[in-house]
Amino acid sequence: MKITLEKVDKYVAMVTIDNQSCLNAMTRNMMRELGAAWDELEADDTRCIIVTGAGERGFCVGADLSGDLSASEEMATIVNHSLLKCDSYSKPIISAVNGDCIGGGLELLLSTDIRGCVSSARFGLPEVKWSVYPFGGATLKLVEQIGYVHAMDLLLTGELIDAKRSMELDLVNEIFESHEELMSWALKKAGTIARNGPKAVQAVKKQVSDTISAHVQSRELLEQRLGEDVRASDDFKEGVAAFLEKRKPSY
């Protein structure tokens, strides 16, 4: 269970989420590591970042619900930073979605700029099925990115969609039949961006990122209050128990 950061080119970095037995779900410690990776890359000479998951089954399926589910202001900051929920960030990020992109994984996707996926990938926000509030920014970013009715469909039903539908909704730019094709595309796209003027590229990204960040930060207090109300409910206890016991919840 780890976050791997490597330079694949002088100016291109690869961030890999690695917890393959759980479809790359992230523990709290992995979220800390991911946040640290973003900080390191923001500060160095990297010009473009690729984020992907280890293996060929999962990009990331969000938080590891079998681990620590305690809530605190410090943990909220760690989760938010790992997903770049409220951050203004200057380095372009390409998502190479190598498998299921669900829950917090999809919320991480929403903080990236250009996205490709394999044809077997699935996307969704199933949190409401387990009476969990989607803390990672989906309620704020998804409407802006794919439109109101499509966003609400994903948020309220908790159903998963396939790669073809995700492209129809503009969640991703490209679909590839193999993992090799996906990574080749991501590396080529990152190389193209890295060859452009870095000051101009980062200024463009910063302006867009600042605008999104200001909107998300303006709603963060309500977001945390709503999430805590859900967390304090009996529904939350039943939903998490049902998830861990691999059964349908009874609300």
Of 127, 144, 223, 238, the catalytic one is: 127
pLDDT in tens, the chain (251 residues): 899 999 999 999 999 999 999 999 999 999 999 999 999 999 999 999 999 999 999 999 998 776 656 667 888 899 999 999 999 999 999 999 999 999 999 999 999 999 999 999 999 999 999 999 999 999 999 999 999 999 999 999 999 999 999 999 999 999 999 999 999 999 999 999 999 999 999 999 999 999 999 999 999 999 999 999 999 999 999 999 999 999 999 99
Give the span between the Cα atoms of 28 and 45, in whole angstroms: 28
Residue 97 pLDDT: 98
227 inside domain = no
Q: What is the CATH number of the domain that holds 43?
A: 3.90.226.10
Q: Which of 6, 107, 180, 223 is catalytic?
A: 107
188: in domain: no
Residue 232 lies in a domain: no
What domain count does the chain have? Answer: 1
190 within domain boundaries: no
Q: Is residue 240 assigned to a domain?
A: no
Residue 233 lies in a domain: no
Stated pTM of the model: 0.96
Catalytic residue check, 42: no
On whether residue 18 sits in a domain, the answer given is: yes
Burial of residue 71, with CB atoms counted within 10 A of its CB: 0-12 exposed, 13-18 middle, 19 or more buried: middle
Integer Rg of the chain from CA: 17
pLDDT at 69: 60
Is 105 part of a structural domain of the chain? yes
How far separated are the first and last CA of the chain, in Å rounded?
33
Domain carrying residue 59:
2-178
Q: What is the pLDDT of residue 75?
A: 82
Quick one: pLDDT at residue 109?
Answer: 98
In the residue annotation, 245 being an active-site residue is answered as: no
